[in-house]
Structure 1
Amino acid sequence: MKVAVERNRRIALAKLLEPRALTLPWGITSVCSAHPLVIEATLRRAVGDDQAVLLEATCNQVNQEGGYTGMTPADFRHFVERIAATVGFPAECIILGGDHLGPNPWRKFPAEEAMARAEAMIVAYVEAGFEKLHLDTSMGCAGEPASLPDALTAERAARLAHVAEDAAKRSGQKPPVYVIGTEVPPPGGATHALEKLEITRAEAVLETLRVHRTAFAAAGVEHALERVIGLVVQPGVEFGNANVVLYKPTRAEGLISALDAMPGLLFEAHSTDYQPAEELCALVDGGFGILKVGPGLTFALREALYGLDAIRQGIASEATSPSLPSVLEDVMLADRGHWSGHYGGSAEEQRLQRHFSYSDRIRYYWPDKRVHAAVERLFAALPAHIPETLISQYLGRLYPHVVAGRVAPNARDLCLAAIDDALAPYRAATAQR
C-alpha cells in the first residue's frame, strides 16, 4: 500500500504543479484565505523554496457577485499578483484554486437557480485563470435534504465540469484540474462540539469515484476525468468552535487502502487547521497530498492583533481610540450574518466564540472599513520598535524570534511572523524528504 500511495501522490502533484516545480514536493499546502497579510506571509515563506504556491479562494469569499470580500475571481487574481510583486515572488509560480465551488453561497434558493449561479461562478473562475477547481455540490438547496445522494452530487459536479471545460476552451485558458468528492467537511469547520468523527469508508470512496465516472461520461466530459487529481474524504480531522480532533493514522488505514484501486489519485484533506506537525506529516505520508488551511491562519493573525492591542494599552497613558476587540464586537453585533448560525449558548458564550472560536468567524469582518481603519490606527499608535518585554508578555510565541533577530519588533512584522509560525508545520509536512 505504501508504494501505491507514494506513486499516486506523485502523479497527482505532477498534474497540479506541471510545468512549474523543478522537483516534486512530498505534498502541497493549500492556503485558503483572502486576507492580504496571510497571502503575504505565505508568499514570503515561499521565496527561495523553488516551489509553486497554491492559493485558493472559497466560494463565499470570492465569486462573480463579489462574495464577502467584494472580489470577483479576476479581482482576486490581481490582488494576489500585486502582493507577489511586492515580495518578489514570481506570479507564474502561483497556482490559483477555487474551494467548495458549487451552489453553497446560494443554497437557500431552489436547486436550479443555485446551480445556474454556480455555473456563472465556475465560468468566472476559469476565465480568470484559476487552474484547480474543487467541485462541491454535496449540499442540498431549498426543499432538499442537507446531504444529497452520491449520484445527484456527481451529476451536478459533472454539470459544473462541463461548464468549466467549455469556458477554458472558449477563453484560451489552461484546462483545469479537479478535486471531487461527496463526503465533504463543511466549509470553515464544524459548528458543534466534536467527539469522534466518522471516517470515510474505502468502499464509499470507490463508489464516489464510480458515480462520478458515470456522470462525467453522461455529461460528455470523459476527458476531464483525466484531470481529476483527488477526492475529498473525511480522515478523522476536524475542528469545531472549542475543540480540535487530531488525526489518528491507524483509524484511517482502511480509507487509505482505497488508493490502491485508484491509480494516479490522492486525497485532499480539509480542515487541517490546528493539527500539529506530526499529524500533518502522517496525513501526507498516508496519501493526503493536499493539506487545506485557512481559519487557523487568520486565527493566528487575530491573536497577534489582539496582543498588539494589549501592548498599545500598556504603552499609552490613556486611551485615545476604542480597542480593536471593542470595534470588532460592535461590527459583529451590527451584522450577525456571518456568525449567528454558527455560535450557540448564552450571550456570554456567544461573545467568547465571536472573538476566540477555532472556526474564526471573525475572519469575515476584517474587510469591513471600520475594522480596517481600527487596525490601521493600532499600527500607527505603536512604536517602530516595540519593547521586547511587552512582546514577551503579550506575544510570547514570537518573543524567541524577536530576541534572536529573526523578526523585527514592529507591528506589521509581528503579524506576519504569527501567520508564518502557523504555516511552519505545513512546510515541515510537505517538504521533499
Structure 2
Amino acid sequence: MNDLLPGELGGEMAPVETWQHVERTTRELFSRFGYGEIRTPTLEDTALFVRSVGEETDIVGKEMYTFDDKAGRSLSLRPEGTAPAARAYIEHAVSNQEPLTRWYYIGPMFRYERMKTGRYRQFFQIGAEAYGSKEPAQDVEVMDMVVQLLEALGLQDISLNINSLGDEACRPAYQQKLVEHLTAHRAELCEDCQRRLERNPLRVLDCKNEKCQAIARAAPDILQFLCEPCKAHFDEVKRKLDALGVRYVINPQMVRGLDYYTRTTFEFIAAHPALGTASTVGGGGRYDKLVKSLGGPDVPAVGFGLGLDRLTLLLKEGGQQYGAPPDVFIAVADEGSADEAFALASRLRREGLKVEFDTRGGSLRSQMKRADKTRARFTLVLGQAERESGKAQLKPMAGGEPIPVALGEVAQAVRAAAAPR
C-alpha cells in the first residue's frame, strides 16, 4: 500500500498530479458517453463477493481482506468494483426507475496478492457498468470508451484482446472437453490447478504457472463450442469493433479471473517494460446473470475495470508532467512589506490565480530559489518602493521583458499575458 505525494516526492509512484490528470480525463470522457459516477462503501458483506466473484477464484480464496466486525458479521474490503455496483443497483431498485443505466466509479480496491510492478495490495481502479442492454453494441461501447480514454491519455502500444465464454447453453459441452484435456495432464498441473480441476476447471486457463499455461494453450478452443446465439453475438461484437476502426486480437485462452462473466470478455494489454509481467492494464466483459444471482431482477449487464496504478505508472515513464504551475510567485523584499504581500496573495487567489507565497519569509535570494522550484510563470517582488507607488513588475520566469503592472490589476495582467496573441 502506498502514499501518493505531489511533485517529485513520490518515489516509485507517479506524483498525485498524474493521478488527478487521469481522474479528470476519465470523468470528462465518461460523461460524454452518458455515464454517471457511483461511490460505494469500501466494506461490503463478505457473502456478496463469494456469490458474485466465485468461491473458487483466487480473489475470494486467497486475496480478500476479510474480518468479523464487533457484531460478528463477516465483512471484506472490496476486491473489485462490479459486485458492489450490482448490489447498489439492486438495493436502490434502479431497474424500476430507468431501463438503461450507465455508471462509472474511481476508487481503492484491496487484494492480498503477490507484489509486482504496478500491482499493490491497495490498488485503485477505474470501472464502468452498463445495465439493461443485452445488445453487442453495448459491449462495444464500453470497449470504445476505454480505447478513447487511452487515446486521450496519450498511451500507445496497448492491445485489445477479446473472447467469448459462451453461456449456460454451450459452455457445459466445452467444459467437458476441457476437463478431459486437463485430466490427461493432471500430474503436470500445479497444486492449485489440480483443485480447480475438480471444482472450477475454467480457472485453470487463468493460472500464471508456466506449466499450466502450456497445458492451457493446448486445450480445446472455446470458440469452437459456441451455440448459434453466442456465436452471432460475438460476430456482431467483432463487426461493430471493425465499424468503429477499433483494432483487436482474438484470444480464446482469455477467461478473466471472475466467475460472473458470460459471452464477451476482453482485456487491454500493454507492451511496456515498465510493467514487467503485469502487463494487463484492465479488462472486463458481459455478466448477464450476475444481478439475478444476487437476488435482483433478470437484467443483462457489461462492464470493465482499469488499473489506475498501472496507467499512472505508464504516464510517469513517458516523462510528462501534469498539474498547472503557479501563475505568480510573490516575493517580499523587506520585512515591512510582508503583511501587504500576504494580503495581495490572498486577494489574487480570490480572483482565481494560483499563487505561491513563502510564509517563512527569508532573504529575497532564497525566495527566488523557491520561485524557480515551483516553476511559477511570473514572480512579483513587493517592497517599499512598490507599496508607495502602487506599481510592480511581473517577471516572466521563462525569460522575457518584465511587465509593468498596477498592484490592483495583477490578475488582469497575468491573464492578458497568458492569452493567445
TM-score (norm. length: structure 1): 0.23
* Structure exhibiting the larger radius of gyration computed from Cα positions: 2
> By percentage of residues, which structure has more helix?
1
Which one has more relative contact order, counting CA pairs under 8 Å at least 6 apart?
Answer: 1
